[in-house]
Amino acid sequence: MVVHTYSDTWSLNEFFEGGSDSEEFATHLNSTAKNIDAFRTKVELWNPKDVHNGVAELVKVIQEFENVAKQIRQAGAFVSCLQAQNTKDKKATELKAKVTELSANFQNVLLEFDVKLTTINEDDWSTIMEDTFLKTLRFVLDERRERAAEKLSAKEEALITSLSTDGYHGWSQMYDLLVSSIKIPFKVNGEVKHLSVGQAANQFSNGDREVRKRMFVEWEKAWESKSDFFAKTLNHLSGFRLNTYNLRGWDDVLKEPLDINRMNKETLDAMWSAISANKQPFVQFLNRKAELLGLDKLSWYDLDAPLGKTSSKMTYQEGAEFIIDHFSKFGSEMADFAQMAFENNWIEAEDREGKAPGGFHTFFPESSQSRIFMTYSGTPSNVSTLAHELGHGFHTYAMRDLHLLNRNYAMNVAETASTFAEMIVADAALKRASTKEERIALLEDKIQRSVALLMNIHARFLFETRFYEERKHGVVNVEKLNRLMEEAQVEAYGGALEEYHPQFWSSKLHFYITGVPFYNFPYTFGFLFSLGIYAQALEAGESYEEKYIDLLKDSASMSVEDLAQKHLNIDLSKMDFWEKAVGLCVSDVEEFLDLTKY
Ligand SMILES: [Zn+2]
C-alpha cells in the first residue's frame, strides 16, 4: 500500500507569485480593468437591431464577456484565498476592494448588454437563437433578457450598482472586519488563550459540557459587546437592499433569491411545508440526545456535543484517505478528482491562528483549478466539511468543458453536489461500523446534519423573512433582533432546547453576505435534493456516476424544476418529493432511537 503524505497548506503561487504583494497580480488587475473598458466599447458599438449581422456580432460580444468574466473570477478567487489564509493581511483587504470595484464596473457593462438584449423583438430573437452556438446558451440569454425587463433603466441600474460598492458591499466588508477584531479569551490547560472565532467555534464539539458552556458564555459575551455595530451593519445592508427592491417595484423580498436560484415559490413552500410537518422525530432525537448526556433538555451549546467514542480524531492524512476511499465506492471520477486535489496542494486545512472561520471552495477559471479552505483539527465534522468542499470542487470539475455562461449554477444546486459528497462519506462510514457504539455515533453525526439543515437553517430562514418585514418599517434594534432570532429558533427547533442563541444574527456571517441575498434555504434545498439523487444512486450502483455527471452538467442551464423533471422524473412543486427526502432523514432518527433505547 502506498502511504501518501498530503500537504495541509495550499499553494497559490501558480496563479500569481508573491501573495498580496504580487506584481503579477497587480498586472492582472490592470489588464482586467483595460479589458472591461474594451468590453464596454464593444457593447456600446453593438447594434442589436442590425439583424443582418446580428448573430456574428452577438457571438463576438459573448466571447469577450466570457474572457473578462474569467479574469475577474480569477482575481476574486485569489483575493478570497489571501484573505482567508491570513485575516491580518491588510493588503489583501485593499485588493479585495479593488476586485469589488472591477466587478461592479463589469456588472455595469453587463446591465447595458442586458438592456440591449431586451430591445430585440421576439421574432428577431428567435431567428438569432437558431444559431448553433447561441442555441447552447439559450436559457441563460433568455434569463438575462427577462431579468433586465423587470429592472429599472440601464442608467438607473448603473447608478445603483456604482453606489453599491460603498453603500452595500462595504457593509459586508465591515462585518468581516468586525469579526476579525474579535478575540475570545479562553482558558486551556490553565493558560488563557485569545481564540479567533473559528477556533472558538470548534469548542462547541468538545466532549466536556463545562468547556462548551464556558465557551458559550464567552461567545455570547463577545458578540454582545459589539452587537450595536453588528445591528447597524445589518440594518444598513438590508436597508440598501430593500430600497433597491422598492425602486424596482418588487414587494416580495424572496423574489430576487428565488430568481437567482431558478426556482419558483411553490417549490420553496412545498419544501418548508414538508419540513414543518415532520419536526417531531427530530425533537425526539434531541430529547434522546439530552437523556444520553444526562440532561433534562439540550441547550444551544450541546447541539454539537459528541455522543459516542467514534468522535476520536482522525489525522489529516487519514481523513484524506477516508474520503478518497469512500468516493471511489461511488465512482472513479469523483475519487480521482479528490486525489488530484490532495496531491496538488489545492487544500488549505492547517489548524493555526489568524485564519478566517468556516470553509469554502473557490474556482480559478483561467487555470481550471479549485482551492479549498478550512481549518482541520481532526473532528468528524472536519472530515465532513472537507468532503463537502470537495463536492463543490467536483461540480466545477464536471462542468470544465462547458461555456462559462453555462457554468453559473445557482446556490441551491451548488449545495447539491457538496451534500452528495458528504453523504457518501457519512453512509460509507456507517456501513463499515463494527460496534453498536460506533454505529450510534456515526448515525448521530448524520442526524446532526439533518438537524442543521431542517432546524438551524429553518430558523435562519424564519428570522430573515421576519427581519426583512420589520425592516420595511424602520431600523430594527438589538433587542428586537435578539427576540426575532430566539422566536425563530424556538419554532424551528420545535421548542426542544432549554437555552437558545439570540446573538446568532451577529455570529452567523451568512446574514451579511451581499453577493447573494437569503443564503439559507439553498442549503436545505441542496440537502434534500441531494438525498433524492442519492437514493437513486444507491439503487443504481456504480453505473450512476455518469448520470450524476450529466445532471451536474445541466445544472446551470435550466430551472431546478426542469432539471428535476429531466434527470430524476420528479415534480419539485409537489410535497411528495420533499416528504420522501425528509423521510430518509427520519429513518436515521428511527434507527438511532431504536439503538439507544433502554
Ligand atoms: Zn457548501
Q: Long-range contacts: 155-164, Cβ < 8 Å, 24+?
A: 156/247, 157/111, 158/108, 158/111, 158/112, 160/244, 160/247, 161/104, 161/107, 161/108, 161/111, 162/104, 162/108, 164/104, 164/240, 164/514
What's the pLDDT band for 3 if we cut at 50, 70, 90? Answer: low
- Tell how far the Cα of 226 is from the centroid of ligand 1, in angstroms: 28
pLDDT above 90 (res 528)? yes
pLDDT-derived band at 55 (thresholds 50, 70, 90) equals confident
Least confidently predicted of 108-117, 213-222, 458-467, 497-506: 108-117
For residues 403 and 108, what is the distance between their CA atoms, to the nearest angstrom?
22
Question: Could you tell me the pLDDT band of residue 309, with boundaries at 50, 70 and 90?
Answer: low
Q: Residues 6 or more apart from 20 whose CB is under 8 A from it?
A: 82, 89, 91, 92, 95
CA 41 to ligand 1 centroid distance, Å: 37
Residue 386 alpha carbon to ligand 1 centre in Å: 10
Cα–ligand 1 centroid distance for 360 (angstroms):
7
For ligand 1, the distance from its centroid to the CA atom of residue 365, given in whole angstroms, is: 19
Is the Cα torsion angle 380, 381, 386, 387 positive or negative in sign? positive
- 250-284 burial, b for 16+ CB within 10 Å, e for fewer? beebbebbbbbbbbbeebbebbbebbeebbebbbb
Q: Which pLDDT does position 310 carry in this prediction?
A: 56
Element (H, E) at 360: strand 360-364
Residue 457 in contact with residue 520, Cβ under 8 Å? Answer: yes
- Overall average pLDDT of the 565-582 stretch: 93
Q: Decide which of 580 and 50 is more confident.
A: 580
Distance 247 CA to ligand 1 centre (A): 32
Smallest CA-to-CA distance from 360 within 56, 85, 42 is with 85
DSSP H helical ranges for 508-596: 521-540, 544-554, 560-568, 575-595
Full-model pTM? 0.86
Q: Read off the DSSP letter of residue 497.
A: B
Confidence bin at 573 (pLDDT 50/70/90): very high
Residue 1 scores a pLDDT above 60: no
> How far is residue 512's CA from residue 177's CA, in Å, rounded to a whole number?
12
Q: Which three cell numbers stand for residue 189?
A: 490547560
Tell me: pLDDT of 334 over 80. Answer: yes
pLDDT at residue number 357: 84
**Residue 142 backbone dihedrals phi, psi, to 5 degrees:** -60, -45
DSSP 89-124: -HHHHHHHHHHHHHHHHHHHHHHHHHHHHHTS-HHH
Instruction: State in Å: Cα 322 to ligand 1 middle.
Output: 20
Percent of the chain whose predicted confidence (pLDDT) is above 70 = 98
**Is pLDDT at 2 greater than 70 in this prediction?**
no
CA 419 to centroid of ligand 1, rounded, Å: 8
pLDDT at 311: 53
- Alpha-carbon distance of 304 to 456, in angstroms, equals 12
Q: What is the mean pLDDT of residues 68-94?
A: 97
The predicted pLDDT at position 312 comes to 61
pLDDT at 266: 97
Whether the predicted pLDDT of 211 surpasses 90 = yes
> How far, in Å, from the CA of 319 to the mean position of ligand 1?
18
Q: Can you tell me the mean pLDDT for 549-565?
A: 96
Span from the CA of 526 to the centroid of ligand 1 (angstroms): 9
CA of 112 to the centre of ligand 1 (A): 32
At 247, list the grid cell: 425602486
CA of 234 relative to ligand 1 center, distance in Å = 23
What is the pLDDT, as a whole number, of residue 429? Answer: 77
Q: How far is the CA of 308 from the centre of ligand 1 (A)?
A: 26
304 CA to centre of ligand 1 in angstroms: 19
Q: Assess whether pLDDT exceeds 60 at residue 154.
A: yes
CB 353 within 8 A of CB 373: no
Percent of the chain beyond pLDDT 90?
A: 80
Q: How far is the CA of 361 from the centre of ligand 1 (A)?
A: 8
Rounded CA gap, 472 and 487, in Å? 19
Residue 407 cell numbers, joined: 457554468
CA 34 to chain centre: 31
Report the candidate in 292, 263, 275, 594 with the shortest Cα–Cα distance to residue 450.
275
Mean pLDDT of 200-217: 93
Tell me the per-residue pLDDT of 357-394, one tens digit each, with 9 for 90 and over.
Answer: 889 999 999 999 999 999 999 887 788 899 999 999 99
Cα of 12 to ligand 1 centre, how many Å?
21
pLDDT, tens only, 442-452: 898 889 989 99
Cα 584 to middle of ligand 1, angstroms: 21
Could you tell me the distance, in angstroms and rounded to a whole number, from the CA of residue 238 to the centre of ligand 1?
A: 23
In this predicted structure, what is the pLDDT of residue 198?
85
Interval between CA 46 and ligand 1 midpoint (Å): 38
Measure 388 CA to ligand 1 centroid, in angstroms. 6
Q: How far is the CA of 418 from the centre of ligand 1 (A)?
A: 6
Segment 199-219 mean pLDDT: 93
List the strands of the sheet with 360-364, edge to edge: 347-348, 369-373, 360-364
**Whether the Cβ atoms of residue 164 and residue 90 lie closer than 8 Å to each other:** no
- What pLDDT sits at residue 428? 78
Enumerate residues with CB within 5 Å of ligand 1 (an ion).
418
